[in-house]
Structure 1
Amino acid sequence: MKRKIWTVLMIIISMIFLAACQKASSKKEALDIVSEPETRTESLLHTVVQLSIYHENQEKAMDEAIAYIKEMEKLLSTNLEGADVYRINQAAGKKPVKVDERTFDIIETAQKMSQTSDGKFDISIGAVTNLWRIGDPEARVPSDQEIKAALPFINYKDIQLNAKDKTIFIKKGMVLELGAISKGYIADGVKAIFKKHHITTAIINLGGNVLTMGTSPNDSKGWNIGVQNPDEVRGDTVGSVHVKDQSVVTSGIYERFIEKDGKKYHHIMDPKTGYLVENDISGVTVFTKTSIQGDELSTSLFLLGIKDGLKLIEDMDGVEAVFIDKSNGIHLSKGLKKRFTLRNEDYHIVNEN
């Protein structure tokens, strides 16, 4: 009997010792934060990608993150033969396509976003964007007849998902286009890689998608993130907001457009009409916890307009937004009114009722 008790005691002591070792080990894994980051810049995802890590000796994490971005770019391509999205579009109306688990995850997430936005966000808009091809050398203004013929093939409800087999089937004539969600999904994926490497302090910048980890080692208020000037190239700002552990996603008419007969046609399309969104917004910047949510909301808010967009934001927890109108007015959600710093005298803050 004494031997059994002694054995049990030894097991308990071993478990306590092991737990203590694991706790000590996890403490050792905490990385020192430095004021000057290690930075990697590359041209990927049709934009400039910049990763900044505020810890030393993070080459392995950088390499893994860049490799992940390249892999996802290939996986979600609509033009690369063998890519998941390419194969789905090629098999439209013919057969379900088995895809990578990550491709399934992003399309499943996109479909849920379409439901919550009542179709304002819709990845099956490819049937129309393929006509316009804004951002490509072949960009053009399609005829009204072409657009009307494409509209019946835009409906997220017709995307059939089989979670068990990880297959996706779309109707004949449908075309998936993940450009409005892919950068957000990938940014969140890079953050997961960084966390795996015990990184706590970093900035992930995928063009219009900025995802911050932790807070700035050089500013007690947090990372000072600029709000893009919608009338200028990327990098010029109208103001800034301090953030901590947050995603900042911007959509605007400055990004990609074509011009015909003196009129600019930007790339943000309305799935219901097949034409560019016509309203008073020139740019919208969304502050969220995850980058993928910011992607979805930036598109949806553009379609909703300033008044309805602000109303939607006020009903959401942990989400803020900056709308910029075509008269250079800046409209702020309630949570940003005391946090936004105006830095461009050509713009003015509009006081909402």
Structure 2
Amino acid sequence: MRQVISLIFCFVLFWGYGQDQNLVTVHKALKLMGTRFDITVVAQNEDIGYINIDEATAEIQRIENLISAWNPDSETSEINRNAGIKPVQVSLELFKLIERAKQISELTDGAFDISYASMDQIWKYDGSMQSIPTDAEIEASVANVGYHKIILDEDQQTVFLAKKNMKIAFGAIGKGYAADKAKELLVSKQVVAGIINAAGDLTTWGTKASGEKWLIGIANPLSKDRIFSWLPIVESSVATSGNYEKFVIFNGIRYSHIIDPRTGWPSSGINSVSIFAKSAELCDALATAVYIMGKDAGLSLINQLGGTEVILVDSDNKIHKSSGILLEKEN
């Protein structure tokens, strides 16, 4: 177990073998929301499958136009432009997403916070950093962060950022939400099964065309062609946060790209966190939050939440899991 330093998920799709002759599996990889989406559906034929994928793609693009902080015409950008000035009336969909985000912030004591976008980019992971930011720089960076400063008026359906330089962004919840909405659309159109994979934040429904369950392989990144264990995913979602892609090292200390919005410092003590739940949106948000909260607080939280599980790899490469997880290797 101690060799495993992160969780890399791969779906095993058995193309053709053992499939119902009346069903086919159709897959397409696309760049959406600035990242890779893989959309897989089980359909009556290839033409219908690709139509389904196009419909899911359009839904994801709709979500991006709603929540993007980079698109000046989005409702999110309008909220940010009016920070400290006035409340902004928004669609019910965006209002409810922000409301749920605030609830997750409350649940995680601010470890998850969509106002993290207010932080100055003083930590850089492109090779340009020469030294650790000063305490004063870090203090200034988080001065405008705080979910409690996001003021919601349910009657008027408005969002107000209480400080002038506040911003919100959905980088730690948006891909999961888009995956959920794409799945919801396809299910409403009687698509019998599929996977929406948003750069590792993914959700599934139904089964493979063969009738078998979708499987996630937990791979050892030190030997990526070897699977550590298999987990079946049935009508469920999973998201992973990890420090194995972006980090900097100063004085022998490794600083992750996942920043605690409460302190401005990179989180430490964990290599990766994978959350399993019904909703990809919740998985996306909690994966980041648990990574920031740390092993003990994170496991305690997940063990108290119904229908939610976690696999966590600490900085000593030791695996920890919530009470409902049973790894096949342990059988």
Q: Which TM bucket (shorter chain)?
A: 0.7 to 0.9
2:138 aligned partner: 147
CA distance in 1, matches of 2:185, 2:138: 41
CA distance in 1, matches of 2:34, 2:203: 18
1:346 aligned partner: none
The change in CA–CA distance for 1:194 and 1:93 in structure 2 (over 3 A counts) is: same
1:319 aligned partner: 308
1:126 aligned partner: 117
Query: Is contact 2:41-2:52 (8 Å) kept?
Result: no
2:89 aligned partner: 98
The change in CA–CA distance for 1:254 and 1:210 in structure 2 (over 3 A counts) is: same
CA distance in 2, matches of 1:128, 1:95: 21
Q: CA deviation at 1:252?
A: 0.7
**2:230 aligned to which of 229, 240, 246:** 240
Query: Is contact 1:270-1:277 (8 Å) kept?
Result: yes
CA distance in 2, matches of 1:137, 1:237: 32
CA distance in 2, matches of 1:97, 1:138: 37
The change in CA–CA distance for 1:299 and 1:100 in structure 2 (over 3 A counts) is: same
Q: CA deviation at 1:39?
A: 1.2
The change in CA–CA distance for 1:328 and 1:137 in structure 2 (over 3 A counts) is: closer
CA distance in 1, matches of 2:244, 2:267: 13
CA distance in 2, matches of 1:187, 1:52: 12
The change in CA–CA distance for 1:229 and 1:123 in structure 2 (over 3 A counts) is: farther
**2:150 aligned to which of 141, 152, 159:** 159
Relative contact order higher in (CA < 8 Å, ≥ 6 apart)? 2
Q: Secondary structure at the match of 1:285?
A: strand
Q: Secondary structure at the match of 1:75?
A: helix
Q: Which moved more, 1:150-159 or 1:71-80?
A: 71-80
CA distance in 2, matches of 1:201, 1:185: 18
Query: Is contact 1:259-1:265 (8 Å) kept?
Result: yes
1:177 aligned partner: 169
Aligned residues: 306
Query: Is contact 2:193-2:205 (8 Å) kept?
Result: yes
Query: Is contact 1:61-1:193 (8 Å) kept?
Result: no
The change in CA–CA distance for 1:322 and 1:186 in structure 2 (over 3 A counts) is: same
1:194 aligned partner: 186
1:288 aligned partner: 277
The change in CA–CA distance for 1:206 and 1:153 in structure 2 (over 3 A counts) is: same
Q: CA deviation at 1:47?
A: 2.2
1:277 aligned partner: 267
2:107 aligned partner: 116
CA distance in 2, matches of 1:33, 1:245: 23
CA distance in 2, matches of 1:154, 1:105: 20
Query: Is contact 1:248-1:294 (8 Å) kept?
Result: yes
Q: CA deviation at 1:174?
A: 1.3
Check if 1:256 corresponds to 2:256: no
The change in CA–CA distance for 1:158 and 1:215 in structure 2 (over 3 A counts) is: same
How much is the aligned-residue C-alpha RMSD, in angstroms? 2.8
Query: Is contact 1:230-1:282 (8 Å) kept?
Result: no
Check if 1:267 corresponds to 2:257: yes
Q: Which moved more, 1:328-337 or 1:222-231?
A: 222-231
- Identity within the alignment, %: 33
Q: Secondary structure at the match of 1:212?
A: strand
The change in CA–CA distance for 1:232 and 1:253 in structure 2 (over 3 A counts) is: farther
The change in CA–CA distance for 1:177 and 1:139 in structure 2 (over 3 A counts) is: farther
Q: CA deviation at 1:256?
A: 3.5
Structure 2 stretches lacking a partner, 5+ long: 1-19
Mapping of residues 198-213 of structure 1, within 5 Å: 198-213=190-205
CA distance in 2, matches of 1:156, 1:232: 41
The change in CA–CA distance for 1:119 and 1:239 in structure 2 (over 3 A counts) is: same
2:32 aligned partner: 44
Moved over 6 A (4+): 136-140, 230-233
CA distance in 2, matches of 1:232, 1:180: 28
1:168 aligned partner: 159
Q: Secondary structure at the match of 2:110?
A: coil
Structure 1 stretches lacking a partner, 5+ long: 1-31, 343-348
The change in CA–CA distance for 1:101 and 1:150 in structure 2 (over 3 A counts) is: same
Q: Which moved more, 1:325-334 or 1:284-293?
A: 325-334
CA distance in 2, matches of 1:210, 1:103: 21
Letter in 2 for 1:256: K
1:20 aligned partner: none
Query: Is contact 1:53-1:201 (8 Å) kept?
Result: yes
The change in CA–CA distance for 1:253 and 1:35 in structure 2 (over 3 A counts) is: farther
Query: Is contact 1:34-1:54 (8 Å) kept?
Result: no
Q: Which structure has greater strand proportion?
A: 2
Q: Which moved more, 1:62-71 or 1:74-83?
A: 74-83
Q: Secondary structure at the match of 2:218?
A: strand
Q: Secondary structure at the match of 1:63?
A: helix
CA distance in 2, matches of 1:236, 1:108: 41
Query: Is contact 2:193-2:208 (8 Å) kept?
Result: yes
TM-score (norm 1): 0.77
Query: Is contact 2:79-2:88 (8 Å) kept?
Result: yes
